[in-house]
Amino acid sequence: MIQTAFLGDVVLTTPLLTVLAERHGPVDVVTTPAATPLLETHPAVRRVIPYAKRGADRGITGIVRLGRALRAERYAFAYLPHRSLRSATLAIIARIPRRIGFADGWRLLYTGSRQRPATGHEVDRLLALADVASHHQTAPTLGLTAADVAAAEAALRAGGITATFVALAPGSIWGSKRWPHYAALAEQLADRAGIVVVGSAEDVALGEEISTAVGRSGGRCVSLCGQLTLRQSAAVIRKAAVLVTNDSAPLHFAQAVATPTVAIFGPTLPSFGFGPRGPRDRALGVDGLACRPCSAHGPARCPLGHHLCMQSLRVEDVLHAIEETGALHRRD
């Protein structure tokens, strides 16, 4: 499989990987260096081949070099869930005789194409690539190791988190998808649970803002932004009573580890197919805004300047959604 899309997309591809592994045996996956750790321990995966399409492997030189390396493996099939010209070209250079992609991708470069459902959840749309209408495995999965779990537990202990906690994931690579009220939410929650902030090195300032706010109210908060690997972060989310997140990769991590999720949607909609699916999960957004949704991914900044799709989603609304999950009453 060649899947070089964003981290969240890679996580949502894991049910498809499971189906393909049942059909063909464990799968070799070409993916981004960032997503490599997410797949290298996955039970459906035999080997991960990192492809730095915007780094050391960029341009046609990189495609040809990697394509030749793949050619030596004599693969029989290439599955191409990402509708990318680069991926299709790579499979051709690798001389993979059967290349399966979506009909609305680069159809002329494939030897077999499947209709990508126009609606439904992204997991199910991706499963259509394997001609599977439904499958027992519709939640994403991650191959967390004992070492990942131990590292997560050690980080929580070091941060003084020893009982029920709420995980917050305030980041997103798309600025307009960041809900701006996480610190106020954390202050409100701090007398009921510990607060743990998860995120990348880019989210350190957000984590500090939340920690400072909780500290003011006398609560317990630790920011692990930039301190853990992706799998260790998923292991932290697994231990949380509930995760509050934007429409970003941690949402899909929570789905993979079955943690109740409150997902906040601003410029995008859950109906795009990337929302949480668990019976206790909640997806929130501001209804009635004429400008919403404004793009498929969410722009870096609100093009109208007011960012009402996020600014006007209140802390009370998120607290209510957390109550509806029942998570703070049920898990330790």
Shortest Cβ 227–ligand SF4 spacing (Å): 30
Instruction: Please report, as ranges, the residues that interact with ligand SF4 according to CB under 6 A.
Output: 176, 266-267, 289, 291-294, 302-304, 306-309
In degrees to the nearest 10, what's the CA dihedral of 263, 266, 272, 273?
-10
Shortest Cβ 199–ligand SF4 spacing (Å): 21
Shortest Cβ 297–ligand SF4 spacing (Å): 11
Question: What is the Cα–Cα distance from 39 to 47, expressed in whole angstroms?
Answer: 8
Shortest Cβ 128–ligand SF4 spacing (Å): 29
Question: What is the Cα–Cα distance from 302 to 267, expressed in whole angstroms?
Answer: 8
The smaller minimum CB distance to ligand SF4, of residues 279 and 288, is found at 288
The smaller minimum CB distance to ligand SF4, of residues 55 and 299, is found at 299
The smaller minimum CB distance to ligand SF4, of residues 124 and 247, is found at 247
The smaller minimum CB distance to ligand SF4, of residues 207 and 285, is found at 285
Instruction: Select from 185, 183, 177 the least CA-distant residue to 310.
Output: 177
Helix, strand, or coil here: 74? coil
Got the DSSP string for 107-159? GGG-SEEEPPPSSS-HHHHHHGGGT-S--S--S------HHHHHHHHHHHHHT
The smaller minimum CB distance to ligand SF4, of residues 165 and 179, is found at 179
Question: What is the Cα–Cα distance from 65 to 61, expressed in whole angstroms?
Answer: 6
Shortest Cβ 282–ligand SF4 spacing (Å): 20
